[in-house]
A and B are shown apart, each in its own frame.
Chain A
Amino acid sequence: MRLPRVFILAALLAAPALFAGFTSVGEGAAVFKAIGTGGFKMEGKTKQVAVADDNTTVTVTVTLTDIATGITLRDNHTKKYLEVEKFPTTTLAVKKAALKIPDAAGPLEGSATGSYTLHGVTKDLPFTYKGSCAADGTCAVEGSININMNDFGVKVPSYLGITVKPDVVVTSSFTVKR
């Protein structure tokens, strides 16, 4: 049985829409939470979060060059330790098939393993994510991943008696539309 020519044409035209990847909507946010000796804690924040989707892999990219910790000198020290001039971004790449994404509106939540790259080093790490998708195809997502600076060749920051612990929690939130 032959499909009508017009039906084949319609299917070809619809295919990109059916399998279209996610694109970022609006600003995102990424927060790096670190703790140190004596109850010290700091948060580095940036709004430079981008999501790319090639239909096989979803990649979240956070640009580190504008990371802000609330103190200019500490921003500069953080960038120095991360060598942001040489490694300006950190990325998490995950196979799209590993993500539980609802077909329609509804909550999304799960965990998966992705390839996390920081300071030029890539490691497979587990992460969690949660959020919700709306009927118009937009999904608000927040993900969290625990990293160890030693694993990525980042020197543990120490300044005037305060030493930051190597374990850092990175959270990223963004909105995408399919």
Chain B
Amino acid sequence: MKSAYALFVVAALCAVDAAAFPTMVRHGYASCQACHVDPSGGGQLTAYGRAQSDLLVGWHLDPSGLGEGEVSPTTGLLWGLVTLPDVVNISGNVRGGGLFNTTTTGQGAGLRPLLMAADLYTTVNVEWFVAHAAIGYGARAVGPAVIISDKSGPDNALVAREFWAGARFVDDQLTVRAGRIPLPFGLRNNEHTSLVRSLTRTDTNVHQQYGLSLSWNSEQWRGEIMGIAGNYQIRPDAFRERGGVGFFEWAFAPELTLGASSLVTWANADINAGVPTLRQSHGVFARWAPAPWVALLGEVDAVSDYAAENDWNVGAVGWLQADFEPIQGIHIIPAVEAAQIDETQALPTMGGWLSLSWFALPHTELRLDSIYRQVSPKDLDSVGAFTALAQVHFFL
């Protein structure tokens, strides 16, 4: 039993993915849509976002002349080697590195290479019409996003994390879209294995769902509501969660936002528990940059699931992260997390993160993550798991 817990904890710490920058609030960007194709942020960059990646995100050996001329041509596709018409946006997202795991019980220890993402993004935007798709290779644990896999399993598969088509109105403030869409809930943080993302199943790695959404981005507030029709990349139909999800975020100042999220889904057979389950998550989140060199992100969610044969499971999960950027392009990112989900835990699951990120070259991030998480099941010894991850991320 103890080994099973240890393996669970290790599995939950496998990777950091995605490319979202909720910390851009430090530059007064409370809204994400100017820089990202997705109106609620994360994933593929727009042409404007590519420019900001050079001006505000990337490290420069000599930043003194930054912005004196126009942005570097290297912000373009494949470092500027390819020029596309304005209506087409193609880019890539590749993350790979090495992962080291160990636990206090000795289970799952080892070092192995890891390809976290190898996706091709394409967006077509003609006037009000916009269509977006991401397709790629998933090496491991990508089950909910799989289209084709060699053994119908969650590894070594062709994945389609998101694809949607829609329309933009009211000076692009209103977006209506349908397809496989990231769930609009909480912080769209990079750390998709963080407890707030994994326990609410709202990460942008594999937990997108099919549905219809409306999003709004104005200078003062943004939000998105989505009707969830289920994930049609999993079978049988009983596993598909249906319901609704949404968030609302108010910018009290360009550098300070407060938001609230809510999710309610029903599945005839929960993909983990296998029984009919009503799942809910409701919470608040905040972003604050008290100075340009630091951004704070926080999220607290109440989570519950009701399985008809068992009763309510009620708990809470939280995340607090500080992103220090002493020099542009170099980030020191500590974070703490905690979760108490049900009565099977003697103590809350606790986690600590320390990450270093260096946007060393255009479209290139070098990142080190160290994560320690401790699980304390009732009537069993606590199990701790440590993960170290070194990765190179190209957002081409």
Contacts and interface: CB of A to CB of B under 8 A. Distances in A.
Interface in B24-83: 27-28, 31, 33-34, 39, 46-48, 50-52, 55-56, 66-68, 70-71
Interface in B1-38: 27-28, 31, 33-34
A39 B55 contact: no
Interface string A12-51: 0000000000000000000000011111111100000000
B171 interface: yes
A71 B68 CA distance: 10
**Most B C-beta atoms less than 10 A away, residue of A38, A43, A70, A74:** A38
A59 B67 CA distance: 34
Contacts of A75: 67
A39 to B, nearest CB: 3
B173 interface: yes
Contacts of A73: 51, 55, 66-68, 70-71
A40 B56 CA distance: 16
B254 interface: yes
B54 to A, nearest CB: 9
B28 A76 contact: no
A160 B219 contact: no
Contacts of B56: 71
B207 interface: no
B217 interface: yes
B357 interface: no
| B-side interface mostly | loop
Contact of A35 (B68, B219, B222): B219
A42 B28 contact: yes
Contact of B28 (A38, A43, A72, A165): A43
Contacts of B39: 38
A161 B55 contact: no
Nearest to B221: A39
A71 B31 contact: no
Contacts of B66: 72-73
Contact of A160 (B46, B173, B217, B254): B46
Given A72-B66, A73-B71, A38 B47 contact: no
Contact of A71 (B55, B173, B217, B222): B55
A159 interface: yes
A162 interface: yes
Given A43-B28, A160-B46, A38 B171 contact: yes
Interface residues of A, number: 21
B218 interface: yes
B172 interface: yes
A160 to B, nearest CB: 4
Interface string A63-90: 0000000111111100000000000000
A74 B67 CA distance: 8
Contacts of A76: 67-68
B175 to A, nearest CB: 9
Given A43-B28, A76-B67, A38 B217 contact: yes
B68 A40 contact: no
A74 B52 CA distance: 10
Given A75-B67, A160-B47, A41 B31 contact: yes
A38 B50 CA distance: 16
B68 A162 contact: no
A67 B37 CA distance: 30
Contacts of A162: 34, 48
B384 to A, nearest CB: 42
Contacts of A72: 55, 66-68
Contacts of A41: 28, 31, 219, 254
Contacts of B222: 39
Interface in A116-168: 159-162, 165
Given A71-B56, A72-B68, A76-B67, A161 B47 contact: yes
B172 A38 contact: yes
Nearest to A72: B67
B218 A39 contact: yes
Contacts of A39: 31, 33-34, 173, 217-219, 222
B184 to A, nearest CB: 14
Nearest to A159: B48
B31 A43 contact: no
Nearest to B216: A39
A42 B28 CA distance: 8
Contacts of B46: 160-161
Interface of B: 27-28, 31, 33-34, 39, 46-48, 50-52, 55-56, 66-68, 70-71, 86, 168, 171-173, 217-219, 222, 254
Interface of A: 35-43, 70-76, 159-162, 165
Per CB-CB distance, the 3 closest pairs between chain A and chain B, nearest first, are A72-B67, A39-B217, A39-B31
17 contacts: A35-B219, A36-B34, A36-B171, A37-B172, A38-B31, A38-B33, A39-B34, A39-B218, A40-B31, A43-B28, A43-B254, A71-B52, A72-B55, A73-B51, A74-B67, A76-B68, A160-B48
